[in-house]
Amino acid sequence: MSFHLACVGCGTTYDGLKLRYRCDCGETLDVIHDLERLKGTLSTATFDARRISRDRLDKSGVWRFRELILDVAPEHVVTKPEGNTNLYDAPRVASWVGLDALALKHEGENPTGSFKDRGMTGGVTAAKRLGATRVACASTGNTSASMASYAAQAGMEALVFIPDGEIAYGKLSQALAYGARTAQISGDFDKAMELVQDLCNDEGIYLLNSVNPFRIEGQKAIGFEILQDLGWQVPDWIVLPGGNLGNNSALSKGMAELYALGLIDKLPRMAVVQAAGANPLYKAFAAETVELERVSAKTLATAIQIGNPVSWKKSIRGLLALDGVVTEVTDQEILDAKAQVDGQGIGAEPASCATVAGIKRLVAEGVIAPDAHVVGILTGNLLKDPDIVVGYHKSTLEGFTSTYANAPTRIGSTLADVKAWLEG
Ligand code: F0G
For the segment 39-56, the average pLDDT, to the nearest whole number, is: 96
- Per the CB < 8 A criterion, the answer to whether 351 and 385 are in contact is no
Q: Give the length of the chain.
A: 424
Q: State the closest ligand 1 atom to the C-alpha of 143, by its place in the atom list counted from 1.
A: 20
How many contiguous H segments (helices) and E segments (strands) does the chain have? 16, 13
CB 111: neighbour CB atoms within 10 A? 17
C-alpha separations of 139 from 92, 312, 382 in Å: 33, 17, 18
Query: Please, what is the angle between helix 312-321 and helix 246-260, to 10°?
Result: 40
Tell me the angle at which helices 169-177 and 142-154 cross, rounded to the nearest 10 degrees: 20
pLDDT tens digits, residue range 289-311? 878 999 999 999 999 999 999 99
313 in helix, strand or coil?
A: helix
Check if 246 has its Cβ closer than 6 Å to any atom of ligand 1: yes
- Predicted confidence band of residue 2 (pLDDT cuts 50, 70, 90): confident
Closest ligand 1 atom to the C-alpha of 250? 13
Compute how many other C-beta atoms are within 10 angstroms of the C-beta atom of residue 25: 11
pLDDT in tens, 347-389: 999 999 999 999 999 999 999 999 999 999 999 999 999 999 9
CA 422 to centroid of ligand 1, rounded, Å:
41
Confidence check: pLDDT of 262 > 90: yes
Query: Can you tell me whether residue 21 is helix, strand or coil?
Result: coil
Residue 352: predicted pLDDT: 98
From CA 78, how far away is CA 214, in angstroms rounded? 13
Measured distance CA(345)–CA(340) in Å, rounded: 9
379 lines ligand 1 (CB under 6 A): yes
Q: Interhelix angle for 44-51 vs 221-229, to 10°?
A: 90
For 87-113+216-393, CATH gives 3.40.50.1100
What are the backbone dihedrals phi and psi of residue 193, each rounded to the nearest 5 degrees, phi first? Answer: -65, -45
Residue 222 pLDDT? 98
Please indicate whether residue 247, judged by its CB atom, sits closer than 6 Å to ligand 1.
Answer: yes
pLDDT digits (tens, 9 = 90+) for 117-176: 999 999 999 999 999 999 999 999 999 999 999 999 999 999 999 999 999 999 999 999
72-106 pLDDT per residue, tens:
999 999 999 999 999 999 999 999 999 999 999 99
pTM score, whole prediction: 0.97
Measured in Å, residue 144 CA sits from the centre of ligand 1 at 11
Residue 1 has a pLDDT of 63
Contact between 252 and 267 (Cβ < 8 Å): no
Mean pLDDT of the chain: 96
